Chains A and B, each alone.
Chain A
Amino acid sequence: MKQSDHKTNETYLAKWLAGEITDKEIQTYISEKDFLAYTKIKEGLEYFVAPEFDVNKTKKNITSKIQQKPKKVFQLNWYAAAAAVILLLTSAYFFNASLPTHIQTNFGEQKTFVLNDGSEAVLNAKSYIQYPKKWNDKRELDLHGEAFFKVKKGKSFTVNTNNGAVTVLGTQFDVNSQPDFFLVKCYEGKVRVIQNRDTIYLSKGKAYQNYNLNIDLWDFTSDQPNWVKGESDFKSVPLEVVLNELENQYEIKIKSDKIDTSQLFTGSFGHKNLNIALKSVFYPMGINFKIENKKVFLSKK
């Protein structure tokens, strides 16, 4: 009987230590002599201690080292943006002026709306736009994320982003401003892009893209951005930007630490079916993906 028990429960000592097997039960597995020895070992072990550890001192070291390293630009921008919004809101409150209008989209959401001068704007997923109730001499608004504008002819119209400003008189254009990534496409008329003191003019059918200071200019033919029609397309953009857009459209989290997110991607994905979208991006890139409840894990093939 003892023998069979040994086989079915090979970790009886571990279970006894954890209190899952009583002193009485354990003696069906081992001799009394062994039982006494194990009991003494168990008791003796109670007197051992780990060396002292000054948790606070180590924490201080960590804190001082962390502070030497600047946080990612991405976060700084966010804080700066948040601070700017708060500042704007509070100053508006104090001067008793009307609060600015802000419009925000969630994951996978798009909003089309008319600005107070009659211009039209389409806001892509996970984006944010803010403009005053009333424009006086200049038309100006703030944008985070991506939007497509059809601007009524009139005074200068400026879109301010963390990456730079886009100014037009009357035209149709798309602006996509992400951390370290800036894209402007002109669909009609003429657009002026100001970024880091450089000024670029785009005429109809011209696109401008800046990723980490790598500038790209090209021609295109469509009359409105594909994302308005339910498809996001990219031309030589770092995979990072594509992943961000996937996350925004499908409300997922993508774990990309196992792959190189700076490699460039040209292609598109639709906004209807996550699985197909993931396939259309990752198959050509030679990347495997696995979906586990709203999280996508990426790995090399």
Chain B
Amino acid sequence: MTSDEVCEPEVFDNIYVTNANNLRNFLYYKYGDLKAAEDVVQESFIKLWVNCTKVAIEKAKSFLFTVANNLFIDIKRHEKIVLTYKKRGNSSVNKETPEFIMQEKEFMDKLQITIGSLPDKQREVFLLNRIDKKTYKEIAEMLDLSVKAVEKRMQKALIIVRKKIGNI
């Protein structure tokens, strides 16, 4: 009933390239199941294609996120999320003592666990911002929230992380 721009293979490809990774990460941050996240990304894009005549190009992104979210809710409740972190590069100037290295590792492990235990709504926003480097505005668009709501979630998440990590 509307324009069928999204049905154009090039347009569709473009939407895929710009959104697939974001969508996968969002789903993973929220639900912690990597395999399911990738399956849902597939399903969401197929849904978009099937409905390509009904979805306007500027609505494609929010269509994808909404569909993906609904699909996931149908599948199951989420699992624990465990993100990996890269090793901190050894500084050539500063020689680090084994003790310092151990402390650092302890800190990073704590951070890892804490992130995983954040409430869903805060975690998805927090990780999209910190890892995927999405601005609050971009996240707000993706999740159909206000920027203010995103900021509040960020604020809360950071306070929780700080509390759980305790003294450093």
A11 with B165: CB separation less than 8 A: no
Residues of A in contact (CB 8 Å), total 46
The CA-CA distance from A51 to B127 in the complex, in Å, is 12
CB distance from B121 to the nearest CB of A (A): 14
Interface residues of B in 61-90 (CB under 8 A from A): 83-88
A254 with B1: CB separation less than 8 A: yes
Which of chain B's residues have a CB closer than 8 A to the CB of A65? Answer: 42, 46
The answer to whether A58 and B1 touch (CB under 8 A), given A41-B165, A255-B54, is no
- Chain B, interface size category, equals 35 or more
B155 with A12: CB separation less than 8 A: yes
B42 with A45: CB separation less than 8 A: no
Q: Which A residue's beta carbon lies closest to that of B29?
A: A50
B168 with A62: CB separation less than 8 A: no
The answer to whether A18 and B42 touch (CB under 8 A), given A34-B162, A37-B168, is no
Which of chain B's residues have a CB closer than 8 A to the CB of A62? Answer: 16, 42, 45-46, 49
Which of chain B's residues have a CB closer than 8 A to the CB of A15? Answer: 151
Stretch at the interface among A138-146, A215-223, A240-248, A282-290: A240-248
The CA-CA distance from A244 to B167 in the complex, in Å, is 65
Q: Which A residue's beta carbon lies closest to that of B152?
A: A11
B46 with A48: CB separation less than 8 A: no
Which of chain A's residues have a CB closer than 8 A to the CB of B111? Answer: 41, 44-45, 48
Residue among B54, B56, B132, B154 with the highest chain A CB neighbour number at 10 A: B154
Chain A interface residues toward B at CB < 8 A: 10-15, 17-18, 34, 36-38, 40-41, 44-51, 53, 55, 58-59, 61-62, 65-66, 69, 71-72, 74-75, 240, 243-244, 247, 253-257, 261, 295
Please list the 4 inter-chain residue pairs (A to B) with the smallest Cβ-Cβ separation, ordered nearest first: A14-B154, A11-B151, A14-B151, A47-B85
